[in-house]
Amino acid sequence: MDLKTKDVQEVYSVERVRKDFPILSKRVHDKPLVYLDNAATTQKPNVVIGALEQFYTSENSNVHRGVHALSEIATQKYEQAREFVRQYINAASLHEIIFTRGTTEGINLVAASFGRTFLHEGDEIVITTLEHHSNIVPWQLLCEEKSACLKVVPIDDKGDVLLDEYEKLLTEKTRLVAITHVSNALGTVNPVKEMIEIAHRMGIPVLIDGAQYMPHFRVDVQALDADFYVFSAHKIFGPTGIGILYGKERYLELMPPYQSGGDMIRSVTFEKTIFNDLPFKFEAGTPNIAGVIGMHAALKYISSLPWENIIDYEAELLRYATEQLQSMDGVRILGTARKKSGVLSFVMDGVHPHDIGTILDEEGIAIRTGHHCAQPVMERFGVPATARASFAFYNTTEELDALIRGLRKVKEIFHV
């Protein structure tokens, strides 16, 4: 650990925070767990685990339909969570906060509802090379259905989007831009505010995939001026199976329901159904009530943390790990963008990423290996897969040292 990293740690007490996460004291293969797979999912603090247990042991009931005490408690907690999300991302209205199963469903909802309403033959949707499959495939399917065109913004060798090429791709036929805020494969932080401004000058709405941004920064959707913003609770220290679609009310009002069933209707006859108001128009069926309550607990927890210090601390973790990896012969980092967050994706000469991951696992170190659901990124850099270490505010430089020792062991085993 160098002096600069130590100074940051003294401002932010990672040791205190780690005590909030019970799994971090676990041992794997009789080694202390070093969890560096946070881009896939984050670990959960005690307050989230406790909120789930409290709901299922003392408050379990369906929402919105009951007049009994448990239903009223569940409904109150469910809607309190919606208001907290609204405040957390600074949405203008509760009508703009839609509960989904996660980022993927949020994108699919916009593709199915907004896309089928406003996209026609010959129209265009613009994405970037950096996208996760979840922000590629829904648009491909929509374009096939509508005989529309999917355009892709290229990236340079560092992993930065080429803004001049982006602007050239926007035309009077562009109906939507859908871009990631942070690349899950490279850690590139896209200049989305500038990209939104460019699109808005031409009257084009923009969807932002915020799944990888939300664990590392705070977002203000009004300041950003995003038209749609999607993210998942499990990436922000909450439960799986729950997420948020933020959408500007003027767009959501024009969009038809994504699914049909209970709670998204006001009245039904065999002749006609009248749909419910926002946000319930997009929330068919019994929702993930416990997940919403757990997400609320997660957001309250991270809201209590010193975010300015956390951002500096995570930046130091990334800098420290980058320097250590760059000093190793035969190791190449993919993605050296001007602004990065939380991810180190790398390859090692003569060793398949899966072998790297397997040997590190024997040392108790959890990383991700593969194409990370971002095969176009892998193709752009000419590799089938990478090893990816991804960080959260509870990781330490000591854990990064363990990663480096593990990688040296990989090199010894493979004689590279």
Catalytic residues: 373
Handedness of CA 106, 108, 109, 114 (dihedral sign): positive
- Tokens 């307050």 label which residue? 47
Run of H or E including 182: none
Handedness of CA 90, 374, 283, 292 (dihedral sign): negative
Separation of alpha carbons 334 and 353, rounded Å: 13
Separation of alpha carbons 298 and 365, rounded Å: 25
Contact 12, 307 (CB under 8 A): no
Rounded to whole angstroms, the maximal C-alpha distance in the chain is: 73
Tokens of 197: 């401004």
Tokens of 64: 């919105």
Contact 214, 77 (CB under 8 A): no
Handedness of CA 48, 308, 159, 112 (dihedral sign): positive
Separation of alpha carbons 283 and 265, rounded Å: 10
Nearest CA among 69, 320, 98, 110 for reference residue 205: 110
Contact 139, 114 (CB under 8 A): no
Q: What SS3 state is found at 306?
A: coil
| AA letter at 309 | N
Q: Phi/psi at 355 (nearest 5 deg)?
A: -70, -35
Separation of alpha carbons 66 and 61, rounded Å: 8
Tokens of 163: 């803004």
| AA letter at 311 | I
Q: Prior bond to 279 cis, omega within 30? A: yes
Q: What SS3 state is found at 207?
A: strand
Q: Which one-letter DSSP state was computed for residue 339? A: S
